[in-house]
């Protein structure tokens, strides 16, 4: 926006509508005009069936329907319903709870956890660090709160995590700033689908520890785990958490949990932020400051969603039912991804290293231009940096076979 009427500009640069929702709307408009069968809308970050309908886990809706009126309608405490706060730790860490003091605070989705972390653990004007491929709301939230967002190069030439870029950016920012929030979206990163290997996680922890040797500095490592339930088998995808045990006091780990994808409750706006620290005082402070921020922004969270999670983790039969349904959903996603990658390889497309999740990114120069060209062909993807993000979550296996050839043609391969 260049000119404000009544609103104040604040610290933000507002540039039109949300890009992802804008492209999705264009796909819907085209589908209304020429017919849905001629349009492939690969922009949506939600799991859709082959006909384009939202896939909702039936067990979750059954639990919702079983809730009493008070369980649905009553205000939740500002920090969250106690049984939710206890069980969300199990939902996130599984068998791999790190050693340390662990506190949780309910937030409206993972988004709320990102907002509270930036608000409470970086100073006005500070730089927040993330990967160069990133989910655009990280920037919106940083702008809104008067912080800058900087990035490190995510991949090296061999498509492994670029640990030297990570290390040098952390050092560089900490040379001019007392504390640093690092946002790391894993496992099953959006938009690339990347998950660090076991040894890459070790190296990340080593780099954090090395920088924490200077005890005047404070590092907040924020793990955005929004896609953890679609990052392979539930146990294996959580094993890395135990590496965050017994860290120095000046490293605070915060994990963002989301009920949007893993519980198919996108519209319920429920999630949590969970801290891991060796200090009881830092954990208590975490609770206090984030409850204050909850109160000062959205107040309390969505009680029925919190009740659903509590009930799942307090009833083994229910838990197994949810896990089985989710495994079926995950299979749909994994099968589509396999086909998309197979055909992309066939047509010589280069991709970011995909390990799982909702999105695959195809590398291309002039992504904006190629994206527009593909829209004319009825294929809608989100241009991000030097790539086009394809939502396997939203496109049938059959259509996953068709798109790579169209991308190759648009690029001129």
Ligand X SMILES: Cc1ncc(COP(=O)(O)O)c(C=O)c1O
What beta strand segments (E) does 204-270 contain? 218-224, 251-258
SS3 state of residue 239: helix
Q: Least CB distance from residue 297 to ligand X, whole Å? A: 14
Q: Which is nearer to ligand X, 276 or 305 (CB)?
A: 305
Q: Which is nearer to ligand X, 211 or 294 (CB)?
A: 294
Q: Which of 365, 354, 349 is nearest to 391 (CA)?
A: 354
The one-character DSSP state at 98 is: P
Q: Which is nearer to ligand X, 258 or 293 (CB)?
A: 258
Q: Which residue is nearest to ligand X (CB)?
A: 109
Cis peptide before 191 (omega within 30 of 0): yes
Q: Least CB distance from residue 13 to ligand X, whole Å? A: 21
Q: Least CB distance from residue 260 to ligand X, whole Å? A: 3
Q: Least CB distance from residue 227 to ligand X, whole Å? A: 7
b (16+ CB within 10 A) / e for 138-159: bbbbbbbbbbebebbebbeeee
**CB 391 within 8 Å of CB 45:** yes
Q: Least CB distance from residue 105 to ligand X, whole Å? A: 14
Q: Which is nearer to ligand X, 110 or 371 (CB)?
A: 110
Q: Which is nearer to ligand X, 135 or 201 (CB)?
A: 135
Q: Least CB distance from residue 316 to ligand X, whole Å? A: 26
Burial grade of 317 (CB within 10 A; 0-12, 13-18, 19 or more) = exposed
Q: Which is nearer to ligand X, 110 or 232 (CB)?
A: 110
Q: Which is nearer to ligand X, 30 or 226 (CB)?
A: 226
Q: Least CB distance from residue 276 to ligand X, whole Å? A: 19
CA angle 281, 282, 288 (to 5 degrees): 90
Which residues make up the interface to ligand X (CB under 6 A)?
A: 45, 109-111, 135, 185, 190, 224, 226, 258, 260, 266, 271
CA distances, 220 to each of 179, 182, 184, 199, 202 (Å): 8, 6, 11, 21, 17
Q: Distance (Å, rounded) from C-alpha 34 to C-alpha 328? A: 33
């Amino acid at each position: 926006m260049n000119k404000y009427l009544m609103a104040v500009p604040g610290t933000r640069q507002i540039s039109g509508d949300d890009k992802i929702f804008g492209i999705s709307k264009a796909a819907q408009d085209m589908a209304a005009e020429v017919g849905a069968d001629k349009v492939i809308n690969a922009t949506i970050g939600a799991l859709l069936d082959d006909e384009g309908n939202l896939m909702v886990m039936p067990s979750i809706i059954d639990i919702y329907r079983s809730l009493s009126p008070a369980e649905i309608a009553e205000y939740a405490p500002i920090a969250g319903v106690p049984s939710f706060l206890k069980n969300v730790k199990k939902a996130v860490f599984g068998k791999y709870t790190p050693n340390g003091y662990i506190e949780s605070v309910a937030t409206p989705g993972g988004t709320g956890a990102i907002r509270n972390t930036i608000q409470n653990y970086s100073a006005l004007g500070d730089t927040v660090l993330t990967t160069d491929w990133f989910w655009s709301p990280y920037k919106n939230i940083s702008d809104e709160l008067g912080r800058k967002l900087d990035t490190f190069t995510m991949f090296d030439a061999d498509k492994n995590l670029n640990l030297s870029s990570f290390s040098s950016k952390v050092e560089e920012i900490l040379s001019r700033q007392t504390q640093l929030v690092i946002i790391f979206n894993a496992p099953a990163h959006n938009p690339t689908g990347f998950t660090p290997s076991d040894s890459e996680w070790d190296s990340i922890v080593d780099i954090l520890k090395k920088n924490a040797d200077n005890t005047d500095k404070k590092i907040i490592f924020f793990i955005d785990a929004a896609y953890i339930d679609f990052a392979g088998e539930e146990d294996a995808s959580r094993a890395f958490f135990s590496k965050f045990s017994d860290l120095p006091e000046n490293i605070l780990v915060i994990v963002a949990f989301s009920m949007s994808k893993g519980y198919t409750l996108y519209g319920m706006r429920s999630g949590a932020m969970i801290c891991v620290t060796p200090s009881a005082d830092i954990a208590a402070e975490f609770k206090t400051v984030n409850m204050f921020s909850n109160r000062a922004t959205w107040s309390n969270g969505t009680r029925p969603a919190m009740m659903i999670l509590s009930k799942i983790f307090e009833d083994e039969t229910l838990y197994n039912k949810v896990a089985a349904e989710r495994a079926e959903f995950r299979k749909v996603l994994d099968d589509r991804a396999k086909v998309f990658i197979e055909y992309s390889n066939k047509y010589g497309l280069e991709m970011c290293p995909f390990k799982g999740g909702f999105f695959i990114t195809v590398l291309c120069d002039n992504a904006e231009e190629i994206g527009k060209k593909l829209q004319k062909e009825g294929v809608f993807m989100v241009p991000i940096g030097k790539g086009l993000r394809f939502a396997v979550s939203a496109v049938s296996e059959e259509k996953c076979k068709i798109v790579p050839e169209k991308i190759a043609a648009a690029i001129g391969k």
